[in-house]
Amino acid sequence: MQETWLRSLVWTDYRLAVLFTVLLPLIIIIWAAVQRSEAIVRLLIIYWRVASLLLITIYLLMPGWGIGYVTGFIARLLIPAALWFWEDLNEDIAEQPPSWLRLVTMTWRWAVTVYLLVSNLASVPFLSCAFSGENLRSSFCQVWLEPAAAYKDIFHGAYKPEFMAFWGGVGLFIYTIYLAYFVIVRLGKQGRSAIEQ
């Protein structure tokens, strides 16, 4: 009974993630591009760069690599930070005249922030899955791998999970290099401005 309840919660979390981190931002960036709202487009481009860690996480979880639990946790911290960090974008969006696009963008920012922080808080017990092979094989940890396996079956059915995880590892390596470059080099130069100086 408890495993059924946990499985239901995990699948609900994944469905909410698809809604809040894929579908809504995709709709908003297209809408903002059509409306030529430069600040919102820039915000969403930054969002997609940061949120790519969630996709990398899915690939790492396909064969059950424990590091996927850690990258998922980190992604759910980085995304809200990226959405609110940029002073110039926050000001530009706040100064825009009232519109449905601005309202939807602000509502989505708050909703995805709350969702990701609550989801991360709920995922803390599952971090143990990343650090112990014995834990990783338990049904407690395995339930988090089911949605990643379903994604693989839908989009990459012909490929082995290990092959897909290899590409997730390559993505993680590139992501880490880019994040390190941003923190060490660009952040010092541009501060909290989203426009490179």
Q: What is the Cα–Cα distance from 13 to 47, expressed in whole angstroms?
A: 19
What's the domain count of the chain?
Answer: 1
For 79-102, what is the mean pLDDT? 94
What is the Cα 69 distance to its own chain's centre?
Answer: 12
Distance of CA 183 to CAs 74, 108, 176, Å? 15, 26, 10
- 53's CB contacts (< 8 A; 6+ apart) are 71, 74, 75, 78, 172, 175
Predicted confidence band at 189 (pLDDT cuts at 50, 70, 90)? confident
For 124-151, what is the mean pLDDT? 87
For 117-143, what is the mean pLDDT? 87
Residue 197 within any structural domain of the chain: no
Distance of CA 75 to CAs 37, 114, 134, 189, Å? 26, 14, 25, 24
- 91's CB contacts (< 8 A; 6+ apart) are none
Q: Alpha helices of 19-37 — where are they, by DSSP H?
A: 24-35
Residue 102 within any structural domain of the chain: yes
Q: What is the Cα–Cα distance from 173 to 75, expressed in whole angstroms?
A: 14
Q: What is the pLDDT of residue 197?
A: 46
pLDDT value at 157 more than 90 = no
pLDDT value at 130 more than 80 = yes
For 93-111, what is the mean pLDDT? 95
Residue 195 within any structural domain of the chain: no
Tell me the percentage of the chain whose pLDDT exceeds 70.
98
Residue 132 within any structural domain of the chain: yes
pLDDT value at 38 more than 90 = yes
Q: What is the pLDDT of residue 25?
A: 98
Q: What is the pLDDT of residue 196?
A: 62
103: left (phi over 0), alpha (psi -120 to 50) or beta: alpha
Tell me the percentage of the chain whose pLDDT exceeds 90.
80
Residue 161 within any structural domain of the chain: yes
pLDDT value at 162 more than 80 = yes
Amino acid identity at 179: L
Q: What is the pLDDT of residue 5?
A: 87
Residue 196 within any structural domain of the chain: no
| Interval 46-58: pLDDT, tens | 999 999 999 999 9
pLDDT value at 120 more than 60 = yes
Identify the top-confidence range among 28-32, 90-94, 144-148.
Answer: 28-32
Q: What is the pLDDT of residue 4?
A: 85
The domain of 166 spans 2-190
Predicted confidence band at 1 (pLDDT cuts at 50, 70, 90)? low
